[in-house]
Amino acid sequence: MGKYDYIKNGNLLYWNDPDNGKSDGEYKVISAPEEVDSDSIILISSGASEAEVFASELSPIPTPRSHKEEFQKWRAEREAEGMEFFNRLSEVMETDKDLAVGDMVAFTNDYGVVFGPKEVLAFRKPWNGDRCVYIDSDAYWFPDRPNQLTIISKGGMK
């Protein structure tokens, strides 16, 4: 196992910008060589911009605290009030995006900042600009729009 095995196309990583941290943050790997060394050039993207960086400037993103348990309690309270939740995006809107509970996604906010990976927890009928996807985040009670999400890996309900 190599020192940079975590650098793979599609992975979300943290870029430690050597320019006084001006652009530090989470980025998606767009292109990386099969064999990665510290001086390998990696193409990364925040969704709003791209950069070519050295592999030595990238690091794995630590797994954040899960809010899944709080979401499940919140969901049970809402269901008791009559709110309905679903397991697939296709159950709440017409879409080509095969998104389901359990899938891992990257979330891109309105400013182009990427967060993730995050687990999809539930869906409900779209409201407020197509907001309908609940993900495991510190704002688990506020749904995101499907166009803000990029599927990282499938693990959802079939």
DSSP 91-107: GTS--S---BTT-EEEE
Q: Are 44 and 29 in contact (CB under 8 A)?
A: yes
Q: What is the pLDDT of residue 157?
A: 53
Q: What is the pLDDT of residue 156?
A: 56
Signed CA dihedral, 115, 116, 120, 121: sign only: negative
3-class secondary-structure state, position 31:
strand
CATH number belonging to domain 68-153: 2.30.30
Q: What is the pLDDT of residue 10?
A: 86
DSSP state, 50?
Answer: E
Average pLDDT across each block of 10 residues of the chain; the chain has 158 residues. List them in order. 82 88 86 92 90 92 84 97 96 92 90 84 94 95 94 72
Residue type at position 93: M
Domain coordinates in residue numbering, the chain: 12-60, 68-153
Distance CA 101, CA 123 (A): 8
Note the pTM of the prediction, 2 decimals: 0.63
Q: What is the pLDDT of residue 158?
A: 45
